[in-house]
Structure 1
């Protein structure tokens, strides 16, 4: 009843007029209120989610490998800073789906990659130090990536839900370079980056990650007549052939990074034509821990 009475009094005010608020004043007042409300809304949306806590953690607890092609995680370091990690994870969980979708596409992608990597570290810590591989956390019936343990967007999801259901969702980001950013806590994985992903810099970050991974001869190399490459390219081949930046074949995608692969001009030409034999290397599932 109170709401109806209030609505009626406002209707009467604008219908009958008021000496203190002439009709022109009503228009100006409404315009100001609408402008203020719109500005406040857009201002709130323009402030991206802060990944500072995750940035501080990976800067401290992730170190380059000896050959500097990749990185290793110092899980003891992460364990000592578990409170900071938990704070970051709680902040991630506090973001609603509406808030997340209100950010730019680049900010959304950075958010999801950081979330995947941070919760992977948390999963390892829950079973640390008696762990040799993340695959040891699974079972015959369910892999560790399918375990729903992550409170996100008002639901409880798995790592697979984040990677395959959100990051790789067709028509959303469609960027195969994400495979060099998400980290599965294994030696065979691309490097866990020593900084958080940020929407404003993610194009540069993804490109650096791609080139760093492809330049690693333990994961990708030309031997004899074969280009030996990571099994990542076998498992997710479709992603690399879906037309990202007009790359419609895995050969074409790889030729884009021939300098990182250290191919000669002749080898690059053969690769671009699709005439080079590709051989997929075995994946190293050992934990990416620092020695």
Structure 2
């Protein structure tokens, strides 16, 4: 009987692992003490630290290898591994602390997540899906100072803890159904504008099917529903803030199947 229970538990875990990049609750990841202040609806934008982060190298790479639709030319990107490695080293040598503003932290963490995700794909390229790679969200290969964290920790134990749900449309998991990888780096100076743009574009893209009386939303809204529905807000309330189509409060809600195929430009 115990053996059957164990097998059943493993099967359930496998189903959840396959269904979502939210593999484990945030409690299952270690943030290694990195700061994750609660943004609380207002991003603290003043530049509090003495560190001057230059995301120009990442911006240049994105401009060169990411199409407007968010698809990535990974084959060509591999030829610029040296430039990516230099940018990753620059990021990883920085250790955020409490003197950093919300804007500085958000830009740093989002770029860190996206750049290391591209790095992961390039290290395993050619690959059909990020899910074909062992432990993409649980292996601790993201270096921050002397510590190593996982992409899962960066998302669940740091970014999500900042109470800024728009991060879900800024970080990219290298898959077709993911919010697109922006063709520009996030910066502290533009973070509010960039998060608004990413959220509005995603909600009004074909990743969602929206009419006044029914919505078929990305599975992101299912997996992370709690992030979008705080303070009595419903999913429809949240989406209506950005949707070009006004959704009725009683509209039916369903969720789209997620396409984990690689977001590669053909």
Category of TM-score, reference length = shorter chain: 0.7 to 0.9
Contact 1:97-1:153 at 8 Å conserved across structures: no
Q: Which runs of 5+ in 2 are unaligned?
A: 1-46
* Of 131, 134, 139, the match for 1:135: 131
Displacement of 1:112 in angstroms is 0.1
2:266 is the alignment partner of 1:281: no
Instruction: Give 3-state SS (helix, strand or coil) of 2:168's partner.
Output: helix
2:236 is the alignment partner of 1:251: yes
1-side partners of 2:48 and 2:113: how far apart? Answer: 25
1-side partners of 2:190 and 2:211: how far apart? Answer: 35
1-side partners of 2:138 and 2:160: how far apart? Answer: 15
2-side partners of 1:157 and 1:91: how far apart? Answer: 16
1-side partners of 2:261 and 2:106: how far apart? Answer: 27
| Superposed structure 1 runs of 4+ greater than 4 Å apart | none
Structure 1 residues 143-154: aligned runs within 5 Å: 143-154=135-146
How many residues get paired? 220
Displacement of 1:257 in angstroms is 1.8
Which moves more between the two structures, 119-128 or 101-110?
101-110
Which moves more between the two structures, 190-199 or 73-82?
73-82
RMSD: 1.8
Higher RCO (C-alpha under 8 Å, 6+ residues apart): 2
Displacement of 1:45 in angstroms is 2.9
Q: Which has the larger radius of gyration?
A: 1
2-side partners of 1:145 and 1:47: how far apart? Answer: 28
* Of 147, 153, 175, the match for 1:161: 153
2-side partners of 1:92 and 1:250: how far apart? Answer: 35
Comparing both structures, which one devotes a greater share of its residues to helix?
1
